[in-house]
């Protein structure tokens, strides 16, 4: 989806919004290797996985928060930023 069609970051109910270097399907070769190293099993190879992510605070969203790569809202952020699972793009400008 284009950045303009992404929902606003304020609609992310699994906060925090993440800024990821890339977002790729779990089945892609790069992501599957990282998941294997972490011992993470993802059932659906099409689930979007964010790689090398850092949180963007909700306070920062809308007040000049920026992410030069991909701002996403992810369902599972429990891997210390190495990966985040179930990511959907969000629009930081809203």
Summarised one tens digit per residue, pLDDT across range 33-53 is: 999 999 999 999 999 999 999
Nearest by Cα to 41 from 50, 52, 31: 31
State yes or no: pLDDT of 89 exceeds 70.
yes
CB neighbour class for 52 (10 Å; exposed up to 12, middle 13-18, buried from 19): middle
The per-residue pLDDT for 58 is: 54
Give the span between the Cα atoms of 42 and 56, in whole angstroms.
25
State yes or no: pLDDT of 8 exceeds 70.
yes
Share of the chain above pLDDT 70, in %: 83
pTM: 0.81
Do the beta carbons of residue 58 and residue 92 sit within 8 Å?
A: no
Query: What does DSSP assign to residue 39?
Result: T
């Amino acid at each position: 989806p284009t950045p303009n069609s992404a929902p606003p970051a304020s609609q992310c109910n699994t906060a925090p919004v993440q800024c990821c270097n890339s977002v790729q399907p779990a089945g892609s070769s790069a992501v599957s290797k990282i998941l294997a190293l972490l011992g993470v099993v993802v059932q659906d190879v099409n689930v979007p996985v964010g790689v090398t992510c850092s949180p963007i605070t909700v306070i920062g969203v809308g007040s000049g928060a920026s992410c030069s790569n991909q701002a996403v809202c992810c369902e599972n952020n429990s891997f210390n930023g190495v990966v985040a699972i179930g990511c959907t793009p969000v629009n930081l400008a809203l």
